[in-house]
Amino acid sequence: MTFNSLYFIFIFLPLTVFLVWIVPQKAKKTVLVLISFLFYAWGNPRNLLFLLGSILFNYMTGIQMGMLREQGREKTLKRVLTAAAAADILLLCLFKYTAAGLPVGISFYTFSVLSYLFDIMQEAAEPQRNLLNFALYVSFFPKITSGPIAQYRDMEKQISKIRISQPQLFRGLQLFLVGLAKKVLLADQLGAAFSMVTAQSRMSVLSAWLGMALYSLQLYYDFSGYSDMAIGLAGIFGFEIKPNFNYPYLSKSVSEFWRRWHISLGAWFRQYVYIPLGGNRVSDSRLFMNLLIVWTLTGIWHGSGLNFIVWGLWHGMFVILERFVIKDRFDRVPRIFRILMTDLIAFFGWVFFFSPSFSAAAGYIGQMFGAGGMGIIDRAGIYYLVQYAVLLIAALLGSVKVIRWLITRLFYRNSLRLGESALNMAAFIGTIIMLICITAGLISNTYQSFLYFQF
């Protein structure tokens, strides 16, 4: 089940919230874990077995690591950690590289359990003795399928005692709505636009660039919307998870992009790969290697194809360039150009991301430079541009903070000279319109009218 399903929004979520709120404090955690299991098993109960297995295995590993530490057997501790982490990663790879049907969210929850083991190793957290707490950490339903990959050190306190509060509930609901709006009103529409534009057998330069822009925006709204929903949901149940996106398309460099895009993944690699490898306090050649390793792994984490590795290295290449060659040389270049340059690099990178294979990506890039033989601008390109102009502009403005800035200016900084009650009324009406549009969008996604009989 996904958060943007009608059943989730109108049945599963309200019932879950109701249940967790009314049961006594002692039972809340158990209820939340059981609901998380149900959520995860939804649609494919087999997957739950893998999850349960992973929870038990890593729970016991943690306990064992704690014992070894008490006994001061650091060497054995390291060996146990290596073996357990290797087993977790091996299982993940096994699923990724064979056609065995990847269990939902396994990339995310594997990284969660690894974070737990590494945190024990780095002495950033204690081994969790309570199995229920650990099960909640791994399976907590808002984050299990698509993250954010919350690090164990940040969750350790929160899972030991569930504290539900009304302000958090309200903030969570608001964030959930924002995320849902991003997903339904923008990402889904952008996705449909992208498939239409790229369904052309041969594309003009205009169409190919339009397709790239549509996908780049779709991916941002899809993922950041889903992250917002996840963080909002976590808040409803009293959990604080750090933001996963921070206007990445406003980044002035690729390194900055990765501190603003899928923040939890970048942080994970920094915390558990980059820093253990020595961070930036190593020789240049070693640093170069470290960066290369991190970016290759980042690519591999996203998918098993060569195109994902190329995509990871594409970003890695610019990070390395920025580190060794560019340094602060561009600091005097106006901000806007640096942002545009970074976005161009990021957008270009997504071509490897959305293409089914490396050669398909190469073919697409060819069309971006005229290999489609349809010229620079053609009728079809103009047609799609006109079709989606409003959507595209709205999405672009939203992604570079302009819409947020406008709302703040107009409503909160009182440029409209609205009184408090008028502002509240505007919020009231605006929210109702949003809810209606979202519901209409969700239902339309399932609409399929047949010309002939379907039984």
Partner 1 sequence: MNEKRKALREKMLRENVMIIQALLIMVFVVIFALINIIVPDRLYSQEENRALMQHPSASGRDLADGSYFSDLETSYSDQFVLRDKWVMLQANLARLTGRTELNDVFIGKKKYLMAKPVVPDETRTAEITDAINAFRAAHEKLNTQVMLVPDAANILKDKLPKYTPLHDQVADLTAFSQKLDPEITWLDALSPLQAHGSEEIFYHTDHHWTSAGAKYVFEYNAHDMGISSVLRDYDRYVVSDEFEGTLAAKTGLHRTKDAIEVYTPLGTDVEYYVSYPDTNEKSTSMFHSEALDQKDQYTVFFGGNHPLVEIHTTADTTRSLLVFKDSYANSFLQFLYPYYKNIVLIDPRYYYDNAEPLISTHGITDVMILYSADTLFEDTSLADCLNAMRY
Contact set with partner 1 (CB under 8 A)? 1, 5-7, 9-11, 13-14, 41-46, 169-171, 173-174, 176-177, 189, 196, 200, 378-380, 382-383, 386-391, 408, 411-413, 420, 423-424, 427-428, 431-432, 435-437, 439-444, 446-455
Active site residue 302: yes
Helices 46-70, 25-41: inter-axial angle, 10-degree rounding:
130
Query: Cβ atoms within 10 A of the Cβ of 127, count?
Result: 19
Report yes or no: 352 and 311 within 8 Å, Cβ to Cβ.
Answer: yes
Residue 251 backbone phi and psi in degrees, to 5: -75, 145
Distance CA 242, CA 264 (A): 8
Q: Among residues 170 and 369, whose Cβ is nearest to partner 1?
A: 170
Distance CA 197, CA 354 (A): 14
Q: Among residues 90 and 440, whose Cβ is nearest to partner 1?
A: 440
Helix H or strand E segment including 417 = none
Q: Among residues 11 and 340, whose Cβ is nearest to partner 1?
A: 11
- Work out how close the CB of 203 gets to partner 1 at its nearest, in angstroms, rounded to a whole number: 11
Distance CA 143, CA 33 (A): 13
Cα dihedral 19, 107, 266, 122 sign: positive
Burial class (CB in 10 A: 0-12, 13-18, 19+), 203: buried
Q: Among residues 16 and 307, whose Cβ is nearest to partner 1?
A: 16
Q: Among residues 43 and 53, whose Cβ is nearest to partner 1?
A: 43
Q: What is the CA radius of gyration of the chain?
A: 24
- Work out how close the CB of 143 gets to partner 1 at its nearest, in angstroms, rounded to a whole number: 20
Task: Compute CA distances 91 → 57, 183, 260, 273, whole Å.
Answer: 12, 31, 30, 19
- Work out how close the CB of 441 gets to partner 1 at its nearest, in angstroms, rounded to a whole number: 6
- Work out how close the CB of 196 gets to partner 1 at its nearest, in angstroms, rounded to a whole number: 8
Spell 334-360 as b/e; 16+ CB within 10 A means b.
eeeebbebbbebbbebbbbbbbeebee
Long-range interactions of 283-291: CB distance < 8 A, separation 24+? 284/324, 287/323, 288/320, 288/324, 291/316, 291/319, 291/320, 291/323
- Work out how close the CB of 434 gets to partner 1 at its nearest, in angstroms, rounded to a whole number: 9
- Work out how close the CB of 172 gets to partner 1 at its nearest, in angstroms, rounded to a whole number: 8
- Work out how close the CB of 43 gets to partner 1 at its nearest, in angstroms, rounded to a whole number: 4
Q: Among residues 165 and 280, whose Cβ is nearest to partner 1?
A: 165
Task: Compute CA distances 283 → 273, 278, 286, 287, 289, whole Å.
Answer: 17, 9, 5, 6, 10
Q: Which of 229, 302, 339, 349 is catalytic?
A: 302
Distance CA 46, CA 274 (A): 35
Q: Among residues 332 and 413, whose Cβ is nearest to partner 1?
A: 413
Q: Among residues 44 and 130, whose Cβ is nearest to partner 1?
A: 44
User: Which residues, 6 or more positions from 327, have their beta carbon under 8 angstroms from its beta carbon?
Assistant: none
Chain CA centroid to CA 85, Å: 23
- Work out how close the CB of 211 gets to partner 1 at its nearest, in angstroms, rounded to a whole number: 14
- Work out how close the CB of 248 gets to partner 1 at its nearest, in angstroms, rounded to a whole number: 24
For residue 245, give the DSSP letter.
-
Report yes or no: 113 and 150 within 8 Å, Cβ to Cβ.
Answer: no
Q: Among residues 286 and 404, whose Cβ is nearest to partner 1?
A: 404
398 is written with which tokens? 């939203």
Residue 141 backbone phi and psi in degrees, to 5: -65, -30
Known catalytic residues? Answer: 302
